[in-house]
Structure 1
């Protein structure tokens, strides 16, 4: 917003006798004062303080509320639900997105909520400020895809503002950008005459005006800038003629628009891939509550558009003001050789109850424009499958950081997703020619014949027994490559990381280490591989590549004939100290950290540290090592240094199973797990999902309700889930027993997994079979009686 823009708008406001910019300055000073009151002398605040403040805002009928504060805990339900109540009372809430940039997946609550206007920061050159947090939102992971956030950006670096005492000073942060937008919102509110204000202005209509009027910046992607830089005059023009309506944000997904459409523009669609999920937000300016009148529909612009199959999931109820519309996109099997663009629109009709004085409901049709790039299905050796399902993050559990050298960030809360803290690794893999797909379901839910490598990085989840059996046969019999990047796991260290949380008035203890080593050891046991419980730190070099091993673990079991690399490191597991604290005089011992093995038709690589792939607290990257590993696991290309005779083991590396790291007995892991005491199902992000009339052996049952209340994926075939029939090729994975019941079978993999069968035919089948057996019983009895009657020579029944 330039000085000329402000001057022009001020004249407009004065012409209609509205508040001047001078009044806006006083508003901003008041909001800054309120924000300071929300912090103690230790820069700490409590949920209860905010609940009181929000109640006051509701009671006094405030129009606009700015919150230059936030945190990563999107499961603080009292706070989240009070924000819903606040916006449901027609208070427009503006909030800073956070100052945890340039890391991705670092959005703060409440700015990451869809009914709140989340604001990021830019400098005067229209570059994203380095400190500004990046999207995507992470509370939908692993069973969905995050939303576009921030909503908009505003100037937030070296902004001149008032001191509390007197004078001015330079301020930086999204906490500065947010009140700038709040001031813009106040000016826009004052544009609408007070008599019409109640009918027109609400959190959704204001966000529509802001995102539709924003100026898109040329460099940053959608998870850095949202809709773009706030543009006061453009938003003002939209509001001047605004009529209540619903819309979709963002309204365009264009694979040809790079870098804005990252990560979608980096990898085209192709047949046979896991569904690509795009999660848009429905903004309903017609009312605080809304409904989907009819299922979303796909309208291709050309004949090629029929190659696209879309599974839609969306909100049951749009409240308050917002909902979600998730697109699960796949290319049909007949498009396996197609190369080109697919274009068209997705439309959905929304309605809200009539406003006061209106007779009929309000109705609006929303449109989302798609322009997608499609290419022929890549060869197996170029396809990598990323396991997202077995990643747990904070919240709901206390998942500790991966690098223990980092003291100021105790939580692993950035999402652990390809497009959050592993986004640089994703870009590297695409530059190297690999196609990376995401699996948000168990390992039983993918066809190993389609992928060169399964990539397991920094995983905290447990495994189903069926997953362990299937993976063994996938590697040995199907030739799947397996690459594992582990993390530290030491029970004594976890106990020392326990702390008392003043907000919840309870003790917090880690539910696992940097990775769940006992679970990984169970998964790798069929191959004779296991990790230990050391916490290793130090520098090392392979083939001239300098690397840092940051709080990684060691390999304690590995088969003979494999290749194992060992280096001298400091072990901080006993002292609880890290490399920064340990004295230089401590002895270093050789510890195995990298193992490579050929087993059956597959290849396995294990490495004890993931910090070198994670952008969060990376010291040095090991992308060079990942590329060499994928060359081996996917294409059987052996680097001469990694496979030198000097590191080949003639005898196995061995440790008794009772000496391996054990699970904690003082933590109820089922509270945080999607595996422990849960049912094995394939979800909407797997190829085994039932699409239309064709299935892959496992059908999703029930609903996936993810807090704080807006599920990204509806896992049942309910009213808010629609599907287009897909002509995907069916795998021969189902058999029948003697009774005709189907079960899931992988003959070549020597694994039988019970199939979840749809009740709409199972119950009638059981009734029919029971009736048939009963009929046969009566028929046999009658036949016996007839035979006896005939043999007696009389017309009387003979007692048996």
Structure 2
């Protein structure tokens, strides 16, 4: 019996040289997607007849999907003609888009091994998180000289623990005769051997790789199949009679390509699979070819189960496609019903900054030391969410077999199966909803739900209870009060009535008592629900007359959903969904205790190559955790609440908040630019309205960013950071009226203030500061010139004093600037600096001056100054408008702001917002804008048109299909 620990690692490729090589100019395969399906030969003739250049060639695909119509072509394009030929292909009437055929490979994501937008037009491929393939064969039983009794006891204990099927009560359904019969299970993995003794019903094996084998030579695919349908007594699967369809999509070198996945997905659709397990994922939810194909899979009534990711215990680390509403996203727990440390946490980050993330994972299942089949015979154990995923996939297969084969398709679909799982799940004590979703899967409860299921729509989660802590975190940690920014709760509409549905009329709030009328509530939602799911975002404010109210508000939100009649029916299917709210309200806190967090000016991956805040971190170089109060800054949020502060979030420009209500505006780890109106308003808010301002910056050095540029031979493109850890030039513009500026050093080291020690991790320095302010300097290593980070701190390199913390009173307000934010976020924190934050907030909000921070020795008796031409400059070789919510955009208050300024320019602003442009930045928007509406071209006629709308911050999307 072998025990391996499985870890999901992002893709890596060991190509680090920025120097051109023959491979860089070699022809590269591209995927041409079409608006509709045709035979491959017809598509070939169409392309060859319309694009007659010699710079491209048709690439034959020899796989089972070629027996059916396809919606894409694979072509090889010479690098020297790539831009021209891609443009020619995209002009064609039937062509949807052209993208690289990206390869995916398991490995640790390291320096110079990832990328971002570089060519100003198309994004490179998906940063992928792949399953691992543990294959150790060492026994973990007792040592040889241990007594036979102890060996027997250990083995029995492991047997009891490892039979995950019995923990979920699968044997009770087996006794009823349900074993997964006539359920077609697609396993996208590394294949399986035809004569494996653990499986009684391997129906088909298909190979989608460029290797001439159907066998599993790595072990992961066999293991997953064993968890789902194994019949060995030592490692039983849930549904032993399930029909296994093994899709071999990874090579022995653990490599796959987008085109392989697309063909395999198309084949799964054509052969009418019932369930599909996918043990891969990644952070790039904007990879439309992949995301849209997943929608197509579920729209064709295939229930997809996918691992939520192994990036825990960090928050904001959900993997795609498991973070999609139409997919069953699975997290992992251990045998003590604790969330596994490796399991990724929510919330989803698609909706930031104007909205709030959805609850994910959907459910959790045991994912540590799960027993499954080895390659040839015998059992071993693995751990990871891609082990928990086949646990749920096996449960789903077993549940599907409960419904008689002749009417399964009338009852079972991705919507109804998710309803059965989340409504039947057991809520765990301790974890919050963004860690556990609905809770641990309960097979028998879900069985009872399906046994009497009638098609309906529902809401998940169906309850928001401020008294239910910690499950309702973060909502239960901070009550509502009058005058606050809206609190947004984003729920998923599950529609078991049909693949497409509609919200019949606006949702309605039904308070259960007179106090409920103090709640002002607005809704944003999917008018069209497709495929099987939509969203409802509830925006909540307390009316001004509730400024002194203390108590509870309770009631229901109802929303009516309908779907077209099913086959043989005359009338539409209708259902009423209910969301129960139980809210806690307190009197409005005093101004000094209210903090406003700036979310609007934060940029994350995707879409751009936003580098990490600490350059010491080598295995996670992208800033993709959301930088939100409730993702990677959740510990800081809890600390501030414990300290008595009330923390609100602003996902719109500075013109959209009333500074008279807040003690401090908190700017942390920001990458975007600022509208001119924002800078003018902030200056007035601080000097004349007494607003406190606290800034936590990060490194910014153009030379270092250029050194991080590399050619990714996988995507045939250059990857380069679009900014630093924070956008120091933009912050300097914002702080210029106060005489403050930051430099371009990259400082590393430890420092102590009054006995409190912190690590300064790739922070910047202060280079301009007014006379009369208080400035603190410490000896650090500057790695901006050497390219070194913490790794060389022990090498004896000399350190120099650099100012990193400044405090200043200006007019009626107070400002604090600190050059590092890594000590506030949980992603890669070495030591926290919450003690610094508390002292800063004491000063900015209440003018409480710590005697050490405000000592005479730190007071500036003259102005610290450098010439403006010595300040950090913006990159002139990056099209920053592609990632910015400011450059080239219109100033507007989003649905995260107070209701009275929705869709306006904000408070006391009567001029029209100007598009912000800066020297060196291109004005062209490449079409991949944060929080914007993405439209697939509709110039074509006579075709099926799919339009995806990512509403600004309210939730995931509203999608529909329309016949022209």
User: Which of the five TM-score ranges fits, normalised by the shorter chain?
Assistant: 0.7 to 0.9
Aligned counterpart for 1:517 among listed residues 688, 710, 728:
728
Matches within 5 A, 1:206-605: 206-582=417-793, 584-605=795-816
CA 269–236 in structure 1, closer or farther in 2 if over 3 Å, else same: same
Deviations 1:144-187 (CA, angstroms, capped at 9, x unpaired): 10000000000000111111132211100000000010000000
CA 26–224 in structure 1, closer or farther in 2 if over 3 Å, else same: farther
Question: Equivalent residue for 2:269?
Answer: 58
Measure, in 2, the Cα distance between the counterparts of 1:106 and 1:6: 31
Gaps of 5+ in 1: 721-800
Question: Equivalent residue for 1:705?
Answer: 933
Measure, in 2, the Cα distance between the counterparts of 1:45 and 1:645: 63
Q: Check the 8 A contact 1:103/1:421 in 2, yes or no.
A: yes
Indicate yes or no: 2:134 matched with 1:134.
Answer: no
Aligned counterpart for 2:382 among listed residues 138, 160, 171:
171
Q: Check the 8 A contact 1:682/1:689 in 2, yes or no.
A: no
Measure, in 2, the Cα distance between the counterparts of 1:169 and 1:15: 23
Measure, in 2, the Cα distance between the counterparts of 1:220 and 1:473: 43
SS in 2 for 1:227: coil
Q: Check the 8 A contact 1:271/1:376 in 2, yes or no.
A: yes
Measure, in 2, the Cα distance between the counterparts of 1:86 and 1:264: 34
Question: Equivalent residue for 2:176?
Answer: 12
SS in 1 for 2:419: helix
Aligned counterpart for 2:878 among listed residues 667, 684, 701:
667
SS in 2 for 1:306: helix
Shift of 1:45: 3.6
Q: Check the 8 A contact 1:517/1:661 in 2, yes or no.
A: yes
Shift of 1:507: 1.2
Question: Equivalent residue for 2:49?
Answer: none
Shift of 1:433: 0.2
Choose 275-284 or 4-13, whichever is displaced more: 4-13
Question: Equivalent residue for 2:838?
Answer: 627
CA 715–189 in structure 1, closer or farther in 2 if over 3 Å, else same: closer
SS in 2 for 1:295: coil
Q: Check the 8 A contact 1:682/1:698 in 2, yes or no.
A: no
Deviations 1:659-692 (CA, angstroms, capped at 9, x unpaired): 1000000001111111011111111111264579
Q: Check the 8 A contact 2:656/2:901 in 1, yes or no.
A: no
Q: Check the 8 A contact 1:279/1:712 in 2, yes or no.
A: no
CA 495–32 in structure 1, closer or farther in 2 if over 3 Å, else same: farther
CA 248–544 in structure 1, closer or farther in 2 if over 3 Å, else same: same
TM-score by length of 2: 0.72
Measure, in 2, the Cα distance between the counterparts of 1:25 and 1:627: 62
Measure, in 2, the Cα distance between the counterparts of 1:517 and 1:153: 41
Provide the aligned C-alpha RMSD in A.
2.6
CA 192–173 in structure 1, closer or farther in 2 if over 3 Å, else same: same
Question: Equivalent residue for 1:194?
Answer: 405
Deviations 1:379-438 (CA, angstroms, capped at 9, x unpaired): 000000000000000111110011100111110000000000000000000000000000
Question: Equivalent residue for 1:732?
Answer: none
SS in 2 for 1:628: helix
Measure, in 1, the Cα distance between the counterparts of 2:201 and 2:344: 26
Q: Check the 8 A contact 1:277/1:329 in 2, yes or no.
A: yes
Shift of 1:75: 0.7
CA 591–346 in structure 1, closer or farther in 2 if over 3 Å, else same: same
Aligned counterpart for 2:354 among listed residues 122, 130, 143:
143
CA 14–468 in structure 1, closer or farther in 2 if over 3 Å, else same: closer
CA 562–503 in structure 1, closer or farther in 2 if over 3 Å, else same: same
Choose 311-320 or 47-56, whichever is displaced more: 47-56
Shift of 1:584: 2.2
Gaps of 5+ in 2: 1-164, 186-197, 204-220, 227-244, 914-930, 936-946, 960-964
Aligned counterpart for 2:396 among listed residues 185, 188, 195:
185
Measure, in 1, the Cα distance between the counterparts of 2:868 and 2:424: 63
Choose 544-553 or 574-583, whichever is displaced more: 574-583
Shift of 1:24: 9.2
Shift of 1:39: 3.5
CA 696–100 in structure 1, closer or farther in 2 if over 3 Å, else same: same
Q: Check the 8 A contact 1:383/1:451 in 2, yes or no.
A: yes
Choose 31-40 or 71-80, whichever is displaced more: 31-40
Deviations 1:340-389 (CA, angstroms, capped at 9, x unpaired): 00000000000011011000111101000000000000000000000000
SS in 2 for 1:646: helix
SS in 2 for 1:507: strand
CA 45–456 in structure 1, closer or farther in 2 if over 3 Å, else same: farther
Shift of 1:29: 3.9
Q: Check the 8 A contact 1:482/1:605 in 2, yes or no.
A: yes
Q: Check the 8 A contact 1:116/1:203 in 2, yes or no.
A: yes
Choose 674-683 or 29-38, whichever is displaced more: 29-38
Shift of 1:581: 3.3
SS in 2 for 1:13: coil
Choose 492-501 or 305-314, whichever is displaced more: 492-501
CA 496–365 in structure 1, closer or farther in 2 if over 3 Å, else same: same
- The structure that has the greater radius of gyration is 1
Measure, in 1, the Cα distance between the counterparts of 2:356 and 2:618: 30
Measure, in 1, the Cα distance between the counterparts of 2:180 and 2:784: 70
CA 499–52 in structure 1, closer or farther in 2 if over 3 Å, else same: farther
Shift of 1:706: 6.4
Measure, in 1, the Cα distance between the counterparts of 2:950 and 2:429: 32
CA 224–561 in structure 1, closer or farther in 2 if over 3 Å, else same: same
CA 555–688 in structure 1, closer or farther in 2 if over 3 Å, else same: farther
Indicate yes or no: 2:287 matched with 1:76.
Answer: yes
CA 192–220 in structure 1, closer or farther in 2 if over 3 Å, else same: same
Q: Check the 8 A contact 1:119/1:153 in 2, yes or no.
A: yes
Shift of 1:18: 7.7
Matches within 5 A, 1:103-114: 103-114=314-325
Measure, in 2, the Cα distance between the counterparts of 1:208 and 1:342: 27
SS in 1 for 2:528: coil
Shift of 1:498: 1.5
CA 615–295 in structure 1, closer or farther in 2 if over 3 Å, else same: same
Shift of 1:15: 10
Q: Check the 8 A contact 2:766/2:803 in 1, yes or no.
A: yes
SS in 2 for 1:119: strand
Aligned counterpart for 1:607 among listed residues 794, 818, 821:
818
CA 26–419 in structure 1, closer or farther in 2 if over 3 Å, else same: farther
Q: Check the 8 A contact 2:525/2:954 in 1, yes or no.
A: no
